[in-house]
Structure 1
Amino acid sequence: MGVLQRSGFTTTHIPLMRRLKQLTKFWLLGGMLLVNLANYGVASVLGRGLGPAAYAQINVIMTLFGLATLGSSFFQIQAARASLSLNNHAKLRQLRQIAWVVGALNGLLCAGLAGFWQNLFGTSPTPLLLLGFGLISYYPLGVERGIMQSQAAFGRLAGNLLLETMIRLAGAIIVLKLGLGVPSVSAVFAGSLLAAWSLSYIKPAITENVGSTSQLQPLGPLGLRMLGQGLILNSDLLLVTLWFSQHIAGQYAALGLIGRLGFFVSSTVATLGFAKLLRADKAKTEQRQAFWQSVAMILGIGIIFSLACWAMPNLLIKGLFGSAYLPIAGVLWRYAAIAGGYAVVNFLVAYQAAQQRQSGVWLTLGAGLGQVVLLIAAHQTINHVLNVQALIMLGLLATVCLSEWLERTKNRA
C-alpha cells in the first residue's frame, strides 16, 4: 500500500513539480533584474552624494570590479559544466583551488601595483587595496554559484546575488550619511563579496547522467567572447579617466551607466527568449519565430530607451544623478543607441556560439581590441570618443548580421 501511495504521489504531482521548477527560473530572472536595478541604485546614490569628481574615482573601482565580474562568471560557467561531468567532486575541488589562486593573484595585482594604478588613474591606493582584498573571494564565489546553477537551486542563487548587491546599496547609503569617502565605498564592495561568499557554499550532488555535457559551449570561445565584451563595455570608461579631468570623467561615467540601462534590461529579458530558442532546435518554424521574437524584443527595448534619452535627457540625468551631470544630456541618446546596437550583437553572438559557430566570438574580440586602438588614436573630445564607439558598433553589427545571413543562406541551399 505504501508503494502504491508513493507511486500515486509522483504521477499526480509531476505537473505541479514542473510548474514549481519553472517558477524558480522566473525567480532567478526576477532576481537578476533586481540586482541590475540595485547596482544602478548604488551608482545613483554615490553619484548624487559625491559629485562628478569623486564619482570618477568610484567609477574606476566599479569598472575594475565589472571586469572581475567577467572572470567570476567564467568560473561560474566552468563549475556548472564540471558539476555535470564524471568525477565531479574531484573536478570541483580542483576548480575551487584554482579560483582561490586566481583570486589571490588578483589581490596581489591590485596591492602590488597600487602605486602604478594611483599614478595612472589619479586615485588613492587605499580603495584599490581594499578592492583587491575583496576580489580574493570573488572567483571562489563564482564556483559556488555555478554549482547552484547546475543543481537548479535558482532561488538560492538569486538570493545570494541579491544579498551581495543589497549590502552594497545599504553600505553606499551609510557611507554618504556618515560623510565618508571613496576608501569606505571600496570597503563596502569588498565586504559585500566576502559576505556573499561566506553564505554560498553548497555541496555538489553526485552526477549520474553526463549526457548533457556535450551540449555545452567550449570554454575557450566563451572566454574570448567575454573578453571582447569586457573591452567593449569597459575600455571607454577607463580610458576617459586617463585623458580628461576628473569632473568630466565623472560625468562620462554617469553617461555610460544611464546609456547602458537599456542594454542590461534587454539582455536580461532576452534570456527567456534565448531559452525558448534553444528548446525549439528541432522545429525550424518554431525556431525562426523564437529567434525573430527575441531580436524584435531587444530592438524594441533599445529603440524605446534611446528615444526616451533623446526626448527627456535632463529628466533622466537629474533623476538618477543630479544637476551636476547635466552637461552630458545632449549626447545621452547616442550612447543609449550604441549600447542598444551592442545588445543585438550580444544576442546574435551568443546564439551562434550555442550552435558551435565561433565567427561572432572572434569578431567581438576584434571589435573590443579595435575600440581600444581607435580610442587611443582619437580622443580629443567626448564626441570623438562616442564617434569611435558608434563606428565600432556599426561595423560589428553589420559583420555579425552578415555572417548570420550567410549561414542561413547556406542552410537553405
Structure 2
Amino acid sequence: MYSVTNELAKPVQLRAYFTPVRIFLISTMLVNGGNYAYNLVLGRVLTPSQFAEAGILVTLLLAFSFLAMTFQIVSAKYSIELEGIDKVAFRQWITKISLWAGGILSLLVMLASGSISEFFHIDNTWALPTFSLALPLYFLMSVKRGFLQGTEKFVELSTSYQTEMWVRLLMTFALIFLLDGEATTWVSLAIVASVLVGYQMTGKTSKVSMSSARFEQSQLVWRFFLLTAAYECAQIIINYSDIIMVKHYFDSHQAGLYTSMALIGRMIYFVTWMVVMILIPRIVKLRKEGKAFKTQLLQYILVISVFSIGIASFAFFFPNLIVLTLFGEAYMAIAPYLWLYAFATMLFALSNVFVYYFLSIDQYLPVYIAIFMGLMQVVLIYFFHESLVQVIYVQIFNLNILLVVQVLFFVRKA
C-alpha cells in the first residue's frame, strides 16, 4: 500500500515542481542555447568573411527585436494594470500601432536595401528585401507575446519562442547543406518562416473590430511607450553599434572575428532576458497590490552576478579551449580578448536589469541616462577604433559608468 501511494504521488510532485515559471526558465535556456548553436554552426560552416555577411542579417533581426520588445513590454505592463473594456481597447490600440510600425520599417528596409547592402558589403541583393517581409508579423507577434507575459501564461509563451527558434535553426541548415546558393538567402528565408510559425503559436486573437472600443488612456501609455522605445533604441546602440562599426571600419576577416567574439561574450546578456521577462510582470503586479518588490530585484541581480562572473572567469582561464571548441582554429586570434568582452557584457546585463526595474515602477531618469550612454558609446568608438581590443576597452569604460550611475540611483531611491 505504501509503495502504491508513493508511486501515485510522483506525478503530482513533478507537476508541482514544473510550474509555468520554471517551464519558462528552462525553455528560455533552451531557446538561448538553440540560438547560440545556430550562430556557432554558422561560424563553423562558413568562412569568417561569409559569417560576417550572414551575421549582419542575424544582427539586424536582433536589433529589430529590441524595437519589437517595446510593444511586448508595454503590452505586458498594461495587460496587468488595465481591466475590462479598457484592457480590450488597449489591445486593439497597441495591435494597430504595432502593425503600422512593422509595416513602415519593412518598407524602409526594402527601399534602402541597396544602400544598406553597400554599407555592410552584402553582395546578395535579395537578402534584405526578403528579410524585411518578416518585420510586420514580428511586431504583431510581440504584442501577443506581451499579453501572454503579462497574464503569466508562460507555457504558451515558451511554445512560441521554441517554435520560432527551431524553425529558424533547422530550416537554415537544411537549405545550406542541401541546396547551393548564398548563405544569406537561406538565412533570410528561414527568418521569415520562423517568425510566421512563432506568430501562429502565440494563439488566436479575439476577432473584435479595431474601432469598436475607444482607448481613453492612450496619452498615458504613449509616454511609457515612447520612453521604452527610446531605451530599446539605446539597447540596440549599446548591443550592436560595436559590431556594425567594426564591420564598417575593419575588413571582413577582422569583422568576422569580432562577430564571433561578440557571440561568445553575449551569452551573459541573452540569459538575463529570461530574468527581465519574469521580473517585469512580477514587479508591476506586486506594486499594484501594494506589496514590497525591491527584494525581487536584488535576488535577480545576485543570480545574474554569479552567472556572469562565472562565464567571464571561465573565458579568462580557458580562452583557447572555448574558441577551439566553439569556432575552430581560424578564430584563435580572439582568444586573448574573450574575457574582456564577457566582462563588458556583464556590466551592461546588470545595468539593463536595473533600467527595466525602474521602467516597471515609472522611474524614467535611468532611461535617459542609458540613452545618453548609448550615444556616448558610438561617439567613443568613432574616435577610438585603432584595433579590436580598443573597441572593447571603450565599451568597458562606458558601461562601467552606466552601471555605477544606475546603482547609485537605486541606493538613493531605496
User: What TM-score comes out, normalization by structure 1 length?
Assistant: 0.84
CA distance in 2: counterparts of 1:273 and 1:97, whole angstroms = 27
Count of paired positions: 384
Aligned residue for 1:254, secondary structure, equals: helix
Matched residue, 2:34: 38
- Which deviates the most, 145-154 or 48-57? 145-154
Residues 270-279 or 180-189, more deviating: 270-279
Q: Deviations over 1:84-120 (max 9, x none)?
A: 4434334423433332222221221121111101211
Give, in angstroms, the shift of residue 350 of structure 1. 2.1
- Per the TM alignment, residue 373 of structure 1 is displaced from its structure 2 partner at its CA by 1.1
Aligned to 1:340: 346
Unaligned 5+ segments in structure 2 are 1-11, 209-217
Q: State the distance in 2 between where 1:271 and 1:163 align.
A: 18
Pairwise CA RMSD: 2.9
Query: Structure 1's 274 and 315: CA in aligned 2 closer, same or farther, altered over 3 A?
Result: farther
Q: Which amino acid aligns with 1:174?
A: A
Which amino acid in the other structure matches residue 31 of structure 2?
V
Q: Which moved more, 1:50-59 or 1:397-406?
A: 397-406
Aligned to 1:6: none
Q: Residues 74 and 224 of structure 2 are in contact (CA less than 8 Å); yes or no, is this contact kept in structure 1? A: no
> What displacement does 1:161 show?
0.9
Q: Is the 8 A contact 1:117 1:125 kept in 2?
A: no
The residue identity in structure 2 corresponding to 1:173 is: F
Contact 1:225 1:361 in 2 (8 A): yes
User: Is 1:299–1:344's contact at 8 Å kept on the other side of the alignment?
Assistant: yes
* 1:164–1:383 CA distance, 2 compared to 1 (3 A): same
Structure 2 residue 323 is matched with structure 1 residue 324:
no
Write out aligned runs for 1:239-388 (5 A).
239-269=245-275, 290-388=296-394
Taking a change above 3 Å as real, the CA distance of residues 297 and 145 of structure 1, as seen in their structure-2 partners, is closer
Shift of 1:218: 2.9
In structure 2, do the counterparts of structure 1 residues 201 and 270 end up closer, same or farther at CA, with 3 Å as the change threshold?
closer
Q: For the residues of structure 2 that align with 1:254 and 1:296, how far apart are their CA atoms? A: 28
Deviation at 1:172? 2.5
Taking a change above 3 Å as real, the CA distance of residues 200 and 318 of structure 1, as seen in their structure-2 partners, is same
Distance 1:22 1:177, change over 3 A: closer
Structure 1: how far apart are the matches of 2:247 and 2:309? 29
Q: Residues 202 and 80 (structure 1 numbering): CA distance in 2 closer, same or farther, change over 3 Å?
A: farther
1:194 equivalent in alignment to 2:196: yes
More displaced stretch, 26-35 vs 195-204: 195-204
Where do residues 154-173 of structure 1 align in structure 2 (5 Å cutoff)?
Answer: 154-173=154-173
Is residue 116 from structure 1 mapped to residue 119 from structure 2 by the alignment? no
Q: CA separation in 2, counterparts of 1:202 and 1:394?
A: 44
Is the Cα contact below 8 Å between 2:75 and 2:94 reproduced in 1?
yes
Q: Deviations over 1:46-70 (max 9, x none)?
A: 1111121011011211111111101
Aligned AA (2:194)? S
Deviations 1:315-355 (A, max 9, x none): 11222222211111110000000111111111222223333
Q: 1:30 to 1:404 in 2, by over 3 A?
A: same
Preserved contact between residue 370 and residue 402 of structure 2 (Cα < 8 Å):
yes
Within 1, Cα distance between the matches of 2:274 and 2:200? 26
Deviates more, 1:21-30 or 1:175-184: 21-30
> What is the Cα deviation at residue 392 of structure 1?
0.4
| 1:261 Cα offset (Å) | 0.6
Q: Do the aligned partners of 2:312 and 2:339 also contact (CA within 8 Å) in 1?
A: yes
Q: What are the equivalent positions in structure 2 for 1:172-211 lying under 5 Å apart? A: 172-178=172-178, 179-180=180-181, 181-204=183-206
**Unaligned stretches of 5+ in structure 1?**
1-15, 207-212, 409-413
Determine if contact 1:273/1:293 at 8 Å carries over to the other structure: no
The amino acid across from 1:103 in the alignment is G
The alpha carbon displacement at 1:170 in A equals 0.5
Q: Secondary structure at the match of 1:137?
A: helix
User: In the alignment, residue 137 of structure 2 is paired with which amino acid?
Assistant: S
How many Å apart are 1:243 and its aligned residue?
Answer: 0.8
Rate the CA distance shift 1:36–1:150 in 2: closer, same or farther, 3 A.
same
| Structure 1 residue 275, shift from structure 2 partner | 6.9
CA-to-aligned-CA distance 1:382-402 (integer Å, 9 cap, x gap): 022111101101111222222
Are the equivalent residues in 1 in contact too, given 2:98–2:140 (CA < 8 A)?
Answer: yes
- Residue 132 of structure 2 corresponds to residue 132 of structure 1: yes
TM-superposition CA deviations, 1:354-405 (whole Å, max 9, x none): 3322221111111111101111111121022111101101111222222223
| Cα shift at 1:288 | 6.2
Q: Which moved more, 1:252-261 or 1:187-196?
A: 187-196
Distance 1:400 1:263, change over 3 A: same
Deviates more, 1:45-54 or 1:398-407: 398-407
Q: Which residue of 1 aligns with 2:4?
A: none
Which segment is superposed worse, 356-365 or 239-248? 356-365
Per-residue deviation, 1:291: 4.4
Question: In 2 relative to 1, CA 388–188 (structure 1 residues): closer, same or farther, beyond 3 Å?
Answer: same
TM-score, scaled relative to structure 2: 0.84
Shift of residue 129, structure 1, vs aligned partner: 1.0
* One-letter amino acid matched to 2:163: L
The change in CA–CA distance for 1:20 and 1:221 in structure 2 (over 3 A counts) is: farther
